[in-house]
Chains A and B, each alone.
Chain A
Amino acid sequence: SHRAPAWSALPAAADGLQGDRDLQRHPGDAAATLGPSAQDMVAVHMHRLYEKYSRQGARPGGGNTVRSFRARLEVVDQKAVYFFNLTSMQDSEMILTATFHFYSEPPRWPRALEVLCKPRAKNASGRPLPLGPPTRQHLLFRSLSQNTATQGLLRGAMALAPPPRGLWQAKDISPIVKAARRDGELLLSAQLDSEERDPGVPRPSPYAPYILVYANDLAISEPNSVAVTLQRYDPFPAGDPEPRAAPNNSADPRVRRAAQATGPLQDNELPGLDERPPRAHAQHFHKHQLWPSPFRALKPRPGRKDRRKKGQEVFMAASQVLDFDEKTMQKARRK
C-alpha cells in the first residue's frame, strides 16, 4: 500500500507521489472536491503533480516530463486485462521511473463472511489459530508490439496481498517499461490474477489503473521544442508553395526538422550563406526557414498515385534546375 514498502521502494516516483498520499488513500474525497471528472484518478493525480511542479525550479522526478497512460479494459478468458498504449513516448524522452497505479479492492464479502462464520480451530496450546491468509493476487505484465496478435511476452510478475479495505497502490515498474521500450514493444498489458476459485466476470471499475512515466526529454531545450509538442497545426498550409523538401514526409517531427537542412547541392546556393552581408541574408529567408516545421502531420496523406505524381513533379523541377545549371556551365566553358 502507499504506507507500505511499495511507496518507499519508488526512488524518483516517490518524489512525485509521496506528496499525494492523502489523495491516494482517499480517492473518493479527492474526487468529491474536484467534481464529476475526478472519477478519472489519473487526471486528479496529474493535476496534483502539475501544482507541485509548477513551482519555479522544481523538476518532476529529476526530469522534465511526466506522461500518464490510461488503461483500456478487455476481458480475456473471463479475466480483466488492462492494456496501455505507450507509443506516444518520444524517442528523446529518457525514462527515469515508471509506476503502475491501481485500486486494490478488499477481499470479497462472501469469502470474508465464510471465514468469520467458521468456528476458529485451536492448536495444542489452546490459542486460536490465525485465520487463513487472505487471497493473494498476482500482477502480470506482458508487452507486445503493435502488429502482433500474440498474448505478449511476460515482462514481470508480482504478488500482492489484498488490503483490508479499498486502497490505491503504486508499484515500481521501471524495469518492465524500460525493457519493453528497448524492444520496441510499447503495448503493455496488466492482468490481476486472483487465487480465488470464482473471481466472477470482471466489470469496468470506476477506478481504472494507470501508468505514470517520469522522463527527461533531452530535446526540450532544442529550438521550437514547445511547438513540437504543443502546436497541433501547420501554419503554412498545403497550398503554400514549398520550395524545399515537404516537411511532413517523416513520422518523427524531430527527425524531420534535422533532415530539412539542405546543402548547396540541393538549393543551388553558395556555401557560406551565413557570412553574407546581413541585409542580403534577411531577404533570402523563406518563412519555412524562419520557422522550421516541427508540426504534426494532421493533414490527410495523399494517395499513392498522388504521391507518385508529386514525386514526378519534384523530379521534373529538379531536372529543370539541373538543365539550367548545365547550360550555364556550357556557356561558361565556351567563354
Chain B
Amino acid sequence: QWDEPRVCSRRYLKVDFADIGWNEWIISPKSFDAYYCAGACEFPMPKIVRPSNHATIQSIVRAVGIIPGIPEPCCVPDKMNSLGVLFLDENRNVVLKVYPNMSVDTCACR
C-alpha cells in the first residue's frame, strides 16, 4: 500500500474467518471487509482527518516540542458499522448476532 496517502486514512483489510481459525463454527459470512486506520496525524492536520479539538492541541504541543515525549495523535476508527454473524453455539444450535463496530467506515485523528 505504498501508493496510499501517508496521512491518516482508511485502508483496505479483508478478514477471512478461516485465517483466524473461527471458520469451524461461523457459518456466515466467511469473510468481511473490516478495513483499518493508518497514517500520520502530524501538525498541521487537514480537515479530512477530522481531528478532535484535543488532537489539534496535542499536535501543536508536539510540534512546539517544549514538553518531551508527547506523541502525535492517533489515527483511529471514527465511524464503524455493525456485522451480522451466523454461527453455531456450544450446543450446535444456530445463532444470529449483530455485532456493533465490526468494520471501519471512517478514520480520524484523535
Which chain A residues have a beta carbon within 8 Å of chain B's beta carbons?
42-43, 46-47, 49-50, 53-54, 56-60, 64-70, 85, 87-88, 217, 220-221, 225-226, 229-233, 277-279, 296
Extra pairs beyond A47-B28, A57-B82 (18, CB < 8 Å) = A53-B96, A53-B98, A54-B29, A56-B81, A58-B98, A64-B99, A64-B100, A65-B97, A66-B97, A67-B95, A88-B93, A220-B99, A226-B99, A229-B87, A230-B22, A277-B69, A279-B69, A296-B90
For the residues of B in contact with A, the DSSP-based class is: strand
Q: A53-B96, A65-B95 are in contact. Are A88 and B89 (CB under 8 A)?
A: yes
Hey, which chain B residues are within 8 Å of A59, CB to CB?
Answer: 98
* Pairwise interchain contact A221-B100, C-beta atoms closer than 8 A: yes
- A85-B91, A277-B69 known; A233 vs B21 contact (CB < 8 Å): yes
* B45 within 8 Å of A (CB atoms): no
The count of chain B contact residues (Cβ–Cβ below 8 Å) is 31
CA distance A217 to B82 in the complex (A): 14
A278 lies within 8 A of B69 (CB) = yes
Q: Closest 10 CB pairs between A and B?
A: A46-B94, A66-B96, A50-B86, A54-B84, A64-B98, A68-B94, A88-B89, A65-B97, A53-B84, A67-B95
- Across the interface, name the chain A residue whose C-beta is closest to B95: A67
**B40: interface (CB < 8 Å):** no
The minimal Cβ–Cβ distance linking B26 to chain A, given in whole angstroms, is 7
Q: For chains A and B in complex, what number of residue pairs have CB atoms within 8 angstroms?
A: 84
- Residues of B within 8 Å of A221, CB to CB, are 100-101
Whether A88 contacts B82 by the Cβ 8 Å rule is no
- Is B7 interfacial (CB-CB < 8 Å)? no
Q: Quick check: is B61 within 8 A (CB to CB) of the other chain?
A: no
Across the interface, A88 reaches (CB within 8 A) one of B81, B84, B91, namely B91
Binary A-proximity of B15-48 (CB < 8 A = 1, otherwise 0): 0000001101111110000000000000000000
Interface string of B75-110 (1 = CB under 8 A from A): 000000111111101111111111111100000000
Interface contact B26-A50, CB-CB below 8 Å: no
The contact of A230 among B69, B85, B91, B98, by CB within 8 Å, is B85
Q: Which of B27, B84, B85, B94 is A42 in contact with, Cβ under 8 Å?
A: B94
Closest CB in chain B relative to A282 CB, distance in Å? 11
List the B side residues contacting A220 at CB < 8 Å: 97-100
Q: Is the CB of A230 within 8 A of B82?
A: no
B98 touches A70 (CB 8 A): no
Residue of B nearest to A63 (CB): B98
A68 contacts B99, C-beta separation under 8 Å? no
> Could you list some 16 contacts between A and B, CB below 8 A?
A47-B28, A54-B29, A64-B100, A65-B98, A67-B89, A68-B93, A87-B91, A88-B89, A217-B97, A220-B98, A225-B99, A229-B87, A229-B95, A232-B22, A232-B25, A277-B69
| A87→B91 CA distance, assembly (Å) | 9
B89 CB to closest chain A CB (Å) equals 5
B29 / chain A contacts, CB cutoff of 8 Å? 54
Across the interface, B84 reaches (CB within 8 A) one of A50, A226, A229, A277, namely A50
Q: How far is the CA of A65 from the CA of B86 in the complex (A)?
A: 10
